[in-house]
Structure 1
């Protein structure tokens, strides 16, 4: 029996040993640093993050905006009719399920955590175009939230998805990040040091990122347990919640992609629509609609000055704490979200991909923040609940305190809690699926054992970081570690454009020649 056969029949299947152990080692070193000396790691990572934002912030702003422009151009140019796959390939999932899965993967628990908090922060600490706490500041706060959760974020994720999905499905290549360089490297992608480096950065950033997101989610769930059941929580409760999430994740992953992530994502999107409509109907519906419609115009009218504002006078740290922080998260998360979206997008045209994986989530994000954010700011102005002070203490408190001011709060609060649980499960499931694909040499369906190993590994990391207090330190470190991927995305797009031009000439050039031949 050969070594390859032993790997393929082993516990983890046929996997990439150098990548597997490199990612595990790098992750463990960073996490151990975060456990043993969280303050030291936080200080070093914070300094590096500040240096990147202050010195190269302009380049990240330029890069993200370039991704948006190129992504829109690809989707609505002559290349938009090309498929992610062969001409005869059909989509694997219904359109609603497909959008639900990419939405759950790209958003995770962020909507619940930041739906109240971010508009309030920008309303109370407005950086430009309005005085804080004024009616105009409401409009500006929603503009900023729309930019952070709109085109720039979704295109940052999805352009990476396009770069991976096109060569993987078109040429039958492995579904890993290095495959995205096929247009530049050809069949050398699996041996090129640059492609391998992209694989390593993407996997490490994913594990660090998902561990911190799950950890933050546990903190929110802990608040929900206190709020709903009146149970005082501590370290033991955090561990208990995390163990419960790991068990639920294991159940989800055992059901597979089509039944697990697909079902839970669809369920959660339906629940989120219900929550949004409940707040929309229970709150000041007329004002919400006015601000939503006004916000569309403001977003489109001010998107260029907002997107390219780099604080040239270096007058405050706002841009480092907000816009640049968001863009660095997008860049470090792009391998994971883009890679997972690529996996579920076979058979979609490039135009359909951009329309439904970028523009549709952008509009949905704007409506969510207009609904939840407007209601939160009105509650703050009315003085019924000091929401801003509450979210500064605990991000997870915002949505629960908001619901307390509306009818049927006792009914809706458990629904929000349930939604947060499902979001965290689907985030962990999709992240583990992506990492397992990378470890399994780009296999479209990695083994159950590989997915379980990385899911449990990530959950244990989250527990250790929560207990040790190193969660924020590792979050910052993972963002810093993923930041070089901005350069990688540039080469990935270059590679994609070369492949698109070649495939367009083959597919549509051949059709034109056939027409000329058959004409009398």
Structure 2
């Protein structure tokens, strides 16, 4: 709590100084260390491809007989809504316009090639490579929580395979502090994008001015929504909100296909998938050192920083709900279904806006350059037939998407600040609600002081130290999986008959019964029964 207050206070009492300081740090990171973000994310994607096709893909998060806690549709819904938040709705409708007016590779702005890349780059920034940043910490934390049976759901526990018992000291505390600061940057970015959009929508529909007071009311309604959900917990709150979210998203998508430019949407999406498949290596390593356009700094490095800041939080939440799933199932669920869900949003919302721009139905690109992103979003919504209904659905979805993300964030902050949290136990209700109120309070105070832009830059700044932490997480995961395979190697049948299988059950170890850590300093899991 002291760190949260101390970190955000400069933006409240001296917003200009705070923004200027963060801006200088951001500029240095993007210009001198952008390649670090690029190579790090690419490395995580390669690691997941190897794991998915290797023998490690069959390792289950839990005992061999454990069944998944949630049905597959509900599990996928919770994974998706916890991870992407309101940012998907915001960028899904307007991101193409930024690339159309300022395209990569030195292309002519607003030209044919610019339009094609404008529809393709969002699929890259929200696709398989990006979801790898969420998936690696999810796997490491799920293994620690469900196989090794650690009783704390903290980022530091995912590094125990490399750091050993040092995570119980200052090294572990430092890692968990960096997680807290990363959450501030990630949540601040999401709120900074979504709140002005909802306020503008309320202003247009109710005929009131979009002021700081209206922003505060919007955040208050958000706090009530996700505060009530987090109060009821994982099964009665989060699960129901996530399912409602997907039902509403499906309704909006079908409506857009019926009344919108369906043929253009489908044709452009097909073309974009082909361009992405042909150019993903180039897009993953594009730095433009000769042209110096800065495209990768403004967009790719920003996005990778945002995803890295969210990575530990999403990893903790996905680990909590992934008991009984295998490594391969988690990779396919997150990178496959997660990417597909994002792609559908960009195909339906973004390609509709591109169609309106090219057909002359709405001057979306001009509105973006003259007035900003939020007015351009509503210029797109107003170009649809049945625009009133589509706008209401869009705003409701934007609110619920962000509510589910902040809901999950409050839940995980409660988990991360609990000293002892056995597998089947949820964080204390008061702890969960406290963090919901803290996130809302920080958002109101910073936005009222005009520090929203500064908080958005935090996603890149706070992600930089997390790169080192997540690298430890990745090495820890690989070591655990290799040790797991060694511990479960097939032995002669006569040997297994002479032992009680329960004595070798990784979930019922002597060290766990005694309350001592079941760790040998290298993060080696206990032996698992054979046969």
Q: TM-score, normalised by structure 2?
A: 0.88
Aligned to 1:435: 413
Of the three residues 339, 343, 354, the one matched with 2:320 is: 343
Aligned to 2:467: 486
The Cα offsets for residues 244-273 of structure 1, whole Å up to 9 and x where unpaired, read as 222222211121111211111111122112
Aligned to 1:10: none
Aligned to 2:382: 404
1:458 matches 2:458: no
CA RMSD of aligned residues (A): 2.0
Aligned to 1:4: none
Cα distance change of structure 1 residues 389 and 464 upon mapping to structure 2, 3 Å threshold = farther
How far is 1:449 from its partner?
0.5
| 8 Å CA contact retained: 2:189, 2:458 | no
Distance 1:168 1:251 in 2: 27
Aligned to 1:275: 252
The Cα offsets for residues 463-506 of structure 1, whole Å up to 9 and x where unpaired, read as 11111101221332353123111111111111111100111222
SS of residue in 2 equivalent to 1:494:
helix
How far is 1:138 from its partner?
2.2
Q: TM-score, normalised by structure 1?
A: 0.90
Aligned to 2:402: 424
| 8 Å CA contact retained: 1:115, 1:399 | no
Of the three residues 165, 182, 193, the one matched with 2:160 is: 182
1:470 matches 2:448: no
Aligned to 2:202: 225
Distance 1:211 1:468 in 2: 13
Superposed counterparts of 1:322-337, under 5 Å: 322-337=299-314
Aligned to 1:151: 128
How far is 1:127 from its partner?
1.0
How far is 1:183 from its partner?
1.8
1:101 matches 2:78: yes
**Number of matched residues?**
492
Aligned to 1:114: 91
Distance 2:98 2:12 in 1: 31
| 8 Å CA contact retained: 1:97, 1:262 | yes
Aligned to 1:501: 482
Distance 2:468 2:130 in 1: 17
SS of residue in 1 equivalent to 2:147:
helix
Aligned to 1:299: 276
The Cα offsets for residues 275-298 of structure 1, whole Å up to 9 and x where unpaired, read as 222223322222222221222221
1:449 matches 2:430: yes
Q: Which runs of 4+ in 1 moved over 3 A?
A: 389-400, 512-518
Distance 1:255 1:398 in 2: 37
Structure 1: 5+ residue runs without aligned partners? 1-23
Distance 2:427 2:166 in 1: 20
| 8 Å CA contact retained: 1:120, 1:377 | yes
Distance 1:266 1:126 in 2: 37
